[in-house]
Amino acid sequence: MSSKVYINKIEKFLPNNPVSNDEMEHILGEINNKPSKSRRLILRNNGIQTRYYALDNQQNVTHNNAQLTALAIKKLVADDFSLNDIDILSCGTSTPDVLLPSHAAMVHGLLKNKSVELNSSSGVCCSGMNALKYGYLAIKAETANNAVCTGSERVSTWMMANKFEAEIANLEALEEQPILAFKKDFLRWMLSDGAGAMLLENEPKGSLPLEILCMQNYSYAHELETCMYAGGEKQADGSVKAWSEFSTDEWKKESVFSLKQDVKILDEFILKKGVESMGDAMQKHNIKPSDITYFLPHISSVFFKDKLYECFKNAGLEIPKDKWFINLPKVGNVGSASIYLMLEELYHSNKLKSGDTIMLSVPESGRFSYAYAFLKVV
């Protein structure tokens, strides 16, 4: 007999003070000492007003990813739960501090607690949900009594102007227009830093336990090419050439390790496959739109909100807008941590009551993956 699984605590850690739209380029820096021509357009479309960076105003690093994650986890500690009580530590991120060891191992090293089972989920936005699902399945299979699951990003250092100096210098040497390609500049004004942590247990505890009724994931990588990527360069045939196949000189000249997004295929497929996959998930688990009290969709831009609503409506999956809960304008797009930060804010809002249900929806544009969870307030 499988155990039920409950989210009994949710916490977050956001570094430093919120950064306004006007402050962003001061902190990240101007590429080639020139203001970005695309910044205002992107910010107008994405609707983000503030975000958080693990950088101070002098561009000094204040936290790495593992530190952000550990600080969120430590906020779960209370009289009834200590770091030494953790059975499983399951951490998801798109932006680990190092290629090896794993992100979860680096976080565990900071906690200084005891030997635990580790899981690291990599990828893009779904990595946080995949980390959550690992903990959920382990408890459900009765191989653990609890799991601490996290989603986190420290992407600001990836976006600093100095990371693109060699590429701009190379463009100037080739007598080309020394402007950073839109597929890279676009993401500088979209992404931010932060971490969220959840405590999953095999029995309800505390004042507001959330039972995880089901989780469901889908991938469309078998039919769609790469959309968001780092550590490589997309080729004309849609394949991605790995960083290890470039010379070290090319790493700098082509900003091989920078985050990039193919916005053309993003616009073409991200909503279409999102509606398709959510419809499949709801059908599989016998969930109707009317069953949902709160809908928490991770969207990278407010630009997609109305379009997503219309797509759901046209597919017979209309969820009234007054059920949508989004905090993107306040915290920015924090990738794998975004769903944690949304649920954390709703959890602590005093809005939830027994019997309410919550649908979590996370798309990942890396190669079009989607993750869903359906929760119920006990």
The whole-angstrom separation of Cα 137 and Cα 214 is: 10
The answer to whether 74 and 83 have CB atoms below 8 angstroms apart is yes
- Tell me, yes or no, whether 125 and 203 share the same domain: yes
The label of the residue with tokens 């017979």 reads 316
Structure tokens at 37: 């021509």
Domain contains 297: yes
- Tell me, yes or no, whether 163 and 298 share the same domain: no
Q: Is the pTM for the entire model greater than 0.85?
A: yes
Among 80, 103, 88, which Cα is nearest to 147's?
88
Q: How many domains does one find in the chain? A: 2
Domain contains 241: no
Domain contains 180: yes
Degrees, nearest 5: CA angle 33-259-342 = 105
The whole-angstrom separation of Cα 245 and Cα 59 is: 31
For residue 115, what pLDDT is reported? 98
- Tell me, yes or no, whether 137 and 272 share the same domain: no
Q: What are phi and psi of 98, to 5 degrees?
A: -140, 160
- Tell me, yes or no, whether 313 and 176 share the same domain: no
Among 261, 258, 226, 259, which Cα is nearest to 240's?
226
Domain contains 235: no
pLDDT in tens, 261-282: 998 999 999 999 999 999 999 9
The whole-angstrom separation of Cα 200 and Cα 108 is: 17
Side chain identity at residue 191, one-letter code: L
What CATH number does the domain containing 123 carry? 3.40.47.10
Domain contains 244: no
- Tell me, yes or no, whether 194 and 270 share the same domain: no
Domain contains 253: no
For residue 172, what pLDDT is reported? 75
Between the alpha carbon of residue 89 and those of residues 152, 180, 340, 373, the distances in Å are 13, 39, 15, 19
List the chain residues with pLDDT less than 70.
Answer: 1, 174-179
List the beta bridge partners of residue 152. Answer: 93, 195
For residue 182, what pLDDT is reported? 79
Last residue of a domain, one of 208, 242, 271: 208
The answer to whether 300 and 338 have CB atoms below 8 angstroms apart is no
Return left, alpha or beta for 350; rule: phi > 0 is left, psi -120 to 50 is alpha, else beta.
Answer: left
Domain contains 242: no
- Tell me, yes or no, whether 162 and 292 share the same domain: no
Q: Count of residues for the chain?
A: 378
Angle separating helix axes 126-140 and 338-347, nearest 10 degrees: 70
CB atoms within 10 A of CB 325: 17
The answer to whether 356 and 294 have CB atoms below 8 angstroms apart is yes
The residue range of the domain holding 282 is 213-220+261-377
Structure tokens at 246: 């470039």
List the beta bridge partners of residue 118. Answer: 89
Side chain identity at residue 67, one-letter code: Q
- Tell me, yes or no, whether 23 and 148 share the same domain: yes
Domain contains 357: yes
